[in-house]
């Protein structure tokens, strides 16, 4: 080992020292890689926000909803067993399981029309990023974005992607009407309560 080290040092001593390349020679070896332009996920002309998923859409009646669920292989709809009535709110609730990408689906109806559709997706088969970028590529930037949900909205409808992975469609006009009616009922009940207390 010592002999090899001495021989190597002797060889290096015989090699003349080469100064570093000057600027001109260095530029001959320079190569610039142009930056690749990133393709935006947001379209220049986003599509109008949809109120429909496959054959299911806001505003459809209960019979059309049942038929659409029966004919769609993504859902395991069992007919009237998956339909319930909420007497307090005078609403119909349809809740069914799904197969493949959909785990569960909920539909709320008032005045015999769907005003909320909610689809809980199977996170083993589809991820939040894929759904979000698909929406981004169709509808553009969301109106609101936070760690819990992304929201796209018009005057008539609202579509949101909620974590961990639920896509919800909502008829804003119907929802806001129901909210106002609920407030009016609460206000009336409060007035009746105050009148009752005044009788003591």
The domain tally of the chain equals: 1
Within a domain: residue 75? Answer: yes
Contact 43, 63 (CB under 8 A): no
Within a domain: residue 38? Answer: no
Within a domain: residue 116? Answer: yes
Contact 109, 92 (CB under 8 A): yes
Q: What pLDDT, on a 0 to 100 scale, did the predictor assign at position 29?
A: 47
Q: What pLDDT, on a 0 to 100 scale, did the predictor assign at position 35?
A: 54
* pLDDT beyond 50 at 3: no
State the average pLDDT for the chain: 82
* pLDDT beyond 80 at 81: yes
How far is C-alpha 152 from the geometric centre of its chain's CA atoms? Answer: 9
**Averaged pLDDT for residues 141-156:** 95
Report if pTM > 0.85.
Answer: no
Biggest distance spanned by C-alpha atoms of the chain: 116
The residue among 8 and 104 whose pLDDT is bigger is 104
Q: Kindly state the DSSP code that residue 114 receives in the 8-state scheme.
A: E
Residue 69 sits in which domain range?
52-174
* pLDDT beyond 50 at 26: no
Within a domain: residue 120? Answer: yes
Which residues, 6 or more positions from 30, have their beta carbon under 8 angstroms from its beta carbon?
Answer: none
């Amino acid at each position: 080992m010592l002999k090899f080290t001495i021989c190597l040092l002797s060889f290096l001593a015989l090699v003349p020292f080469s100064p570093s390349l000057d600027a001109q020679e260095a530029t001959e070896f320079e190569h610039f890689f142009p930056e690749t332009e990133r393709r935006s996920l947001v379209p220049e002309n986003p599509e109008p926000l949809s109120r429909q998923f496959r054959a299911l859409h806001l505003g459809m009646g209960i019979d059309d909803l049942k038929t659409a669920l029966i004919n769609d292989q993504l859902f395991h709809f069992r007919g009237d067993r998956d339909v319930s009535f909420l007497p307090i709110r005078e609403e119909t609730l349809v809740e069914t399981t799904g197969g493949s990408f959909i785990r569960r689906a909920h539909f709320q109806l008032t005045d015999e029309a769907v005003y909320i559709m909610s689809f809980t997706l199977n996170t083993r088969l589809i991820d939040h990023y894929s759904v979000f970028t698909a929406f981004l590529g169709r509808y553009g930037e969301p109106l609101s974005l936070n760690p819990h949900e992304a929201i796209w909205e018009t005057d008539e409808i609202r579509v949101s992607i909620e974590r961990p992975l639920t896509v919800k469609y909502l008829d804003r006009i119907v929802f806001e009407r129901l909210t106002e009616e609920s407030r009016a009922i609460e206000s009336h009940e409060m007035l009746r309560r105050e009148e009752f207390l005044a009788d003591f």
